[in-house]
Structure 1
Amino acid sequence: MSTVKPSKINRLLKLQPSGVVLISSWLTEQGYSPELLRKYRNSNWLTSIGTGAMIRENDQVNYLGAIFSLQQQLGLNIHPGAKTALSLHGKAHFLDFAQQQVYIFGHSKENLPRWFQKYDWGVKVNYYTTSFLPADEGMTTIRKDNFELSISSPARGLMECLFIAPQSQDLMECLQIMQGLNNLHPKQIQRMLERCTSVKVKRLFLYLAETCGHTWFKYLNLEQIDLGKGNRSLVKNGVYIPKYRITVPQEMQKDESPEL
């Protein structure tokens, strides 16, 4: 005969929306002891997905439901970023997601829990910790299934793409993404670029925006944006762009000859 009190288990199941992970340390803070949680598992109310994490029995949880829990239960800044955020915004529908990869970003020193790393989410997880932008800069909230999730805005998503380029992100794809960002707000972009600490990201972002001829680019005050010193060679045998002191792939400047 089960010793689980229906009222308490019902309250637990209402604490969080369906489709998310229930993290043991957070549940303990809510008054659910390890012994009680073990009873819930034995009674098939909860199922373990790794040390310190559970889901409702028969609940369908994907990586987004796990990220929700990291944000809401642990207070972490870990979020969908780069192309994954752009896809969630509907801004990257033309990109190739055949390999089913997702890009997740956290602020410096924020690590993915072991249960998150070990669990099979059905996608390849690429995780990056960065501090080139403040944790709260350029973030937005979307509704996904039964919960709200904090993700990168389209502008921050592109900046994250540029941060991992060219090693983990194709620069020509970044150009394609920028072409679709014609409705950005110059005041917000100005603030992001002023607070951004990556010279590479700022130079590439401005170069791509100017190349695409976006109207909002004209309202940026480049004198207030620190673009650093020296040259940045991003690719071999590329084209040097004197204004931004960067070397980009030749296909970005088809009408220009590379400077040696």
Structure 2
Amino acid sequence: MTTNNLTKINQLLQSIPSGIVLQSSWLIRQGYSLNLQKYYRSSGWLQSLGHGAMVRSNENPGYDGAVYALQNQSNLSIHPGARTALSLLGRAHYLELSASQTWLFGGVEEKLPTWFRQHTWDTEILYKSTAFLPVSVGLVEFRFPSFTLQVSSPARAIMECLYVAPGEMDLMECYEIMENLNDLRPSLVQKLLEKCTSIKVKRLFLYMADKLNHPWLKFLDLSKVDLGKGKRCLVKGGVYISQYQITVPIALATRE
């Protein structure tokens, strides 16, 4: 290895956080050619994670280190959302949120790269590519030990939960999460509701907040929120809530 190549790899390893994935395409843009990357792998500085991705030798990044690469090297909006974000932010409380599953959300045209999909992580990755909320609204920074990620704020996260319910998440679990969200910022909730394109999500969100009598609800201007027209039957054999024109599970409707 030449002195120049040794200097370059040292500069790289000193400049990046520990526990992250290094994408080959990003390394090329930083001046590390494919041949140089191959040289670093054969010399034991880097090791392959999959086609187009590497890690420091002797490191085994988690999903968060992979998402760091997507956010900071590919400029994607893919982020931890739904109950994963709520758990990270300490808003899960007593709920038993399974650590064996991780919810990620991204823009409608954003896909997880092959190396991400084919790698075996220590958690099951559940990915949703959707445009029901703008990618720029309702995200917050969360600090992991050596880097920060953009993750969903509590208000956005509960809407993401409702987006995948009732098919992939139980509505009663969503309600139990909403019980703990009595301190949401009305201005952010207002913006999310105005930008949200899912009628189901907006109706469920407002129904649950109303049922729980959350104090921030009275500060919203619902005249600016499009709640659509017509009935929405979310479950069979449920209870029809005329105010919000939705049919919800009996257990939810009768919950005190």
**Structure 1 length-normalised TM:** 0.95
Alpha-carbon distance, 1:3 to partner: 4.1
Between the aligned partners of 1:169 and 1:141, the Cα distance in structure 2 is 25
Aligned to 1:214: 214
Asked if 1:225 is matched to 2:225, the reply is: yes
Paired AA for residue 63 in structure 2: Y
Asked if 1:245 is matched to 2:245, the reply is: yes
Aligned to 2:30: 30
Aligned to 1:138: 138
Alignment length, in residue pairs? 255
Instruction: Using the TM superposition, name which of 18-27 and 184-193 deviates more.
Output: 184-193
Between the aligned partners of 1:97 and 1:157, the Cα distance in structure 2 is 14
Aligned to 1:11: 11
Paired AA for residue 252 in structure 1: L
Between the aligned partners of 2:159 and 2:191, the Cα distance in structure 1 is 13
Paired AA for residue 28 in structure 2: T
Whether the aligned pair in 1 keeps the contact of 2:81 and 2:157 (CA below 8 Å) is yes
Q: Per the alignment, in what secondary structure is the counterpart of residue 95 of structure 1?
A: coil
Aligned to 1:51: 51
Instruction: Using the TM superposition, name which of 232-241 and 3-12 deviates more.
Output: 3-12
Between the aligned partners of 1:166 and 1:54, the Cα distance in structure 2 is 38
- Equivalent positions of 1:64-83 (< 5 A) are 64-83=64-83
Alpha-carbon distance, 1:15 to partner: 3.1
Whether the aligned pair in 1 keeps the contact of 2:87 and 2:97 (CA below 8 Å) is no
Q: Per the alignment, in what secondary structure is the counterpart of residue 105 of structure 1?
A: strand
Q: CA 1:215–1:67 in structure 2 vs 1: closer, same or farther (change >3 Å)?
A: same
Between the aligned partners of 1:101 and 1:181, the Cα distance in structure 2 is 22
Moved over 2 A (4+): 2-6, 93-99
Aligned to 1:156: 156
Instruction: Using the TM superposition, name which of 96-105 and 60-69 deviates more.
Output: 96-105
Whether the aligned pair in 1 keeps the contact of 2:233 and 2:246 (CA below 8 Å) is yes
**Structure 2 length-normalised TM:** 0.96
5+ residue gaps in structure 1? none
Q: Per the alignment, in what secondary structure is the counterpart of residue 194 of structure 1?
A: helix
